[in-house]
């Protein structure tokens, strides 16, 4: 089984959508094997999204991600990384397929409710950024 890293973003925690989004993961066969609610500093969000440092939306993204609590989680399942990307939907909710999390819940291309790792290497780095080995039970 594969693991991926997920964040329920501030726009979704503000609107009390944690349970509704988790239901989507579980319906799709993804198991939530680790989960906690935290609030990042702008600096911590900046390191997490460091790959986007040179993008025009970077500052806005780091402000947003540190503006309210998020739920960080590890999801496990068959092809968890691609399955999660599929049920998240496209980055811009206007382009997201019907039934996806972003189609149903996202507010804009920036405030788009969820993050999901895009490859095994990034999943490993992202999980290790937020969770210790002791927090990762099967
Ligand atoms: P993540 O799972 O969060 O990484 O989303 P993604 O992989 O679908 O998109 P990408 O990695 O390209 O962008 C990371 C995040 O930056 C997005 O999820 C958005 O929150 C934000 N973002 C991307 N493009 C824009 C944009 O044009 N404007 C703004 N304000 N934010 C953007
Ligand atoms: Mg991405």
Q: What's the pLDDT score for residue 124?
A: 97
Helix (H, G, I), strand (E, B) or coil at 31: strand
Beta pairing partners, 31: 76
Residue carrying structure tokens 């609107």: 15
Helix (H, G, I), strand (E, B) or coil at 7: strand
**Per-residue pLDDT tens digits for 110-134:** 999 999 999 999 999 999 999 998 8
Instruction: Count other Cβ atoms within 10 Å, centred on residue 127.
Output: 20
Which residue puts its alpha carbon closest to atom 1 of ligand 1? 115
Q: What's the pLDDT score for residue 45?
A: 98
Residue carrying structure tokens 């291309």: 109
Where do the DSSP E strands lie in the chain? 2-8, 31-38, 70-77, 114-116
Q: Active-site residue 115, yes or no?
A: yes
Which residue puts its alpha carbon closest to atom 18 of ligand 1? 91
Does the beta carbon of 109 lie inside 6 Å of ligand 1? yes
Q: What is the pLDDT along the chain (138 residues), one digit of tens a residue?
A: 999 999 999 999 999 999 999 999 999 999 999 999 999 999 999 999 999 999 999 999 999 999 999 999 999 999 999 999 999 999 999 999 999 999 999 999 999 999 999 999 999 999 999 999 889 876
Q: What's the pLDDT score for residue 137?
A: 79
Does the beta carbon of 129 lie inside 6 Å of ligand 1? no
CA 131/CA 72 separation, integer angstroms: 9
Task: Identify whether the C-beta of residue 69 lies closer than 8 Å to the C-beta of residue 45.
Answer: no
CA 53/CA 46 separation, integer angstroms: 8
């Amino acid at each position: 089984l594969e693991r991926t890293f997920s964040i329920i973003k501030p726009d979704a925690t503000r609107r009390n959508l944690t349970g509704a989004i988790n239901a989507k993961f579980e319906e799709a066969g993804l198991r939530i094997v680790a989960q906690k609610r935290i609030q990042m500093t702008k600096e911590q969000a900046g390191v997490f999204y460091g790959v986007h440092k040179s993008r025009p939306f970077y500052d806005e993204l780091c402000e947003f991600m540190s503006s309210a609590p998020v739920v960080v989680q590890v999801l496990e399942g068959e092809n968890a990384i691609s399955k999660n990307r599929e049920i998240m939907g496209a980055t811009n909710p206007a382009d997201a397929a019907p039934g996806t999390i972003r189609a149903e819940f996202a507010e804009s291309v920036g405030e788009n409710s969820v993050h999901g790792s895009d490859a095994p290497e990034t999943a490993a780095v992202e999980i290790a950024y937020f969770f210790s080995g002791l927090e990762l039970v099967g």
